[in-house]
Amino acid sequence: MQLSAFPRVALAALPTALEPLPRLSRHLGGPEIYIKRDDSTGLAIGGNKTRKLEFLLADAIEQGSDTIVTAGATQSNHVRQTAAACARLGLACEVLLERRVTDKGVDYDHNGNVLLDELLGATVHHRPVVDDLDAEAESFVAELAAAGRKPYLVPVGGSSPVGALGYVVCAREMVNQAFDRHLTIDHVIVATGSAGTQAGLVAGFESAGAPVPVTGICVGRPEALMVAKVETLLRRTWDYLGLRGDPPDGLVQANDTFIGPGYGVPTDAMIEAVTLFARFEGVLLDPVYTGKAAAGLIALIREGRFRRGETVVFLHTGGTPALFAYRTSFQEAASAAST
């Protein structure tokens, strides 16, 4: 089925830029690094979820919903972008925030994305750590429906076949940008969490006849579980797109070496990566997703995984507001470095 046949609302400023990072590439002495600026999708500080929400909220509107329900960790970028999209479209927004990361202090609990969720008009419900956040959100949806509302559940991270279409669009956008510049993209590196970004990208490249390898750098899940999660969503997205057969085997690659002690827990390599991107290119990453993905990119380059002359695209999926939630981690690292 043609992508244009799926209901979609315009939320993102597209296409996002595909830019070289010459100073960082030179500093690392490896391949040419390009960055795909999905941190600049344009809605309330941007990020990858805005592309997914174009399809998800169109689906909600088609179903006659008046309230969007979604869930995430306290500093969820997905929740903030959902709140912004609801504000733009005049939909009510109810969000569950799970305290998955603890003891990070007042900035973590109240600044960054949390501050913005409230400013954007979402109704925030806090939850302790739960076994299954999607199930928790489903039971909340049932409560709202029983009270006469018309709720629509956007799954955690916006990762369903509907949401993954946003990254089918992104892959095709990159194929066109590369074609226009006579550029061959040899590899894409992206942070992977709820799987929709990676599954959509892989489906998009493959179905465009441009099978670019994509490595997902895990931010929480062990590699085998992450690969299985992306493969399952890839198959479902493939079916939803109406593509024939099954996606070829072996398309999904993940690497869990850069998680550190856990989801949202800072690592030295993340701090180094965020600092290098800031100081060599003026690009702001985030501590939870893109900082760890960039730590992966840097380590793979230092290990010699990419040749000189190759082009590696780092997909910047956003998350910048979380920097303000991790103020103390960066300040502690800076003062340790100066002593």
In angstroms, rounded to a whole number, what is the distance separating the alpha carbons of residues 61 and 72?
Answer: 22
Cβ of residue 73: shortest distance to ligand PLP, in angstroms?
A: 8
**Contact positions with ligand PLP (CB under 6 A) in 150-209:** 157, 159, 191-198
Per CB under 6 A, the list member of 8, 36, 78, 100 interacting with ligand PLP is 78
Select the residue interacting with ligand PLP from 133, 319, 323, 325 (CB under 6 A): 319
Q: Which of 4, 40, 65, 76 is catalytic?
A: 76
| d(C-alpha 291, C-alpha 113), whole Å | 16
Show the binding pattern over residues 247-266: x = contacts ligand PLP (CB under 6 A), - = does not: --------------------
d(CA 82, CA 69): 9
The answer to whether 307 touches 32, Cβ cutoff 8 Å, is: no
Instruction: Please give the distance of CA 125 from its chain centroid, rounded to a whole number.
Output: 22
CA–CA distance, 98 with 246 (Å, rounded to integer): 35
Number of neighbouring beta carbons within 10 Å of residue 3: 14
Our CB check for ligand PLP shows the closer of 289 and 326 to be: 289
Lookup: tokens for 130: 């739960």
Q: Please, which residue, 198 or 255, has the CB nearer to ligand PLP?
A: 198
Are residues 135 and 106 in contact, defined by beta-carbon separation less than 8 angstroms?
Answer: no
* x/- map, 54-73, ligand PLP, by CB under 6 A: --------------------
- Tell me whether residue 18 or residue 144 sits nearer to ligand PLP (CB atom): 18
- Give the shortest CB-320-to-ligand PLP separation in angstroms: 8
Q: Which of 155, 161, 247, 318 contacts ligand PLP by CB under 6 A?
A: 318
Nearer to ligand PLP, 142 or 225 (CB): 225
Active site residue 207: no
Q: Is 12 in the site for ligand PLP (CB under 6 A)?
A: no
Rounded to a whole number of angstroms, the minimum distance from the CB of residue 315 to ligand PLP is 8
Side-chain-side CA neighbours of 153 within 13 Å: the count stands at 20
SS3 189: strand
48 binds ligand PLP (CB under 6 A): yes
Give 223: exposed, middle or buried? Use CB within 10 Å, 0-12, 13-18, 19+: middle
Considering only the stretches 4-12, 88-96, 303-311, 315-323, report the one whose residues sit in contact with ligand PLP under the rule CB under 6 A. Answer: 315-323
Q: Is 329 among the residues that bind ligand PLP (CB under 6 A)? A: no
Within 10 angstroms of residue 238's Cβ, the number of other Cβ atoms is 22
> Residue 289 interacts with ligand PLP (CB under 6 A)?
yes
Residue 50 touching ligand PLP (CB under 6 A): no
For residue 217, with 0-12 CB atoms within 10 Å meaning exposed, 13-18 middle and 19 or more buried, which class applies? buried
CA-CA distance, 1 to 213, in Å (whole number)?
A: 24
Residues noted as catalytic: 76
The contact set with ligand PLP (CB under 6 A) reads 47-48, 77-78, 157, 159, 191-198, 286, 289-290, 317-319
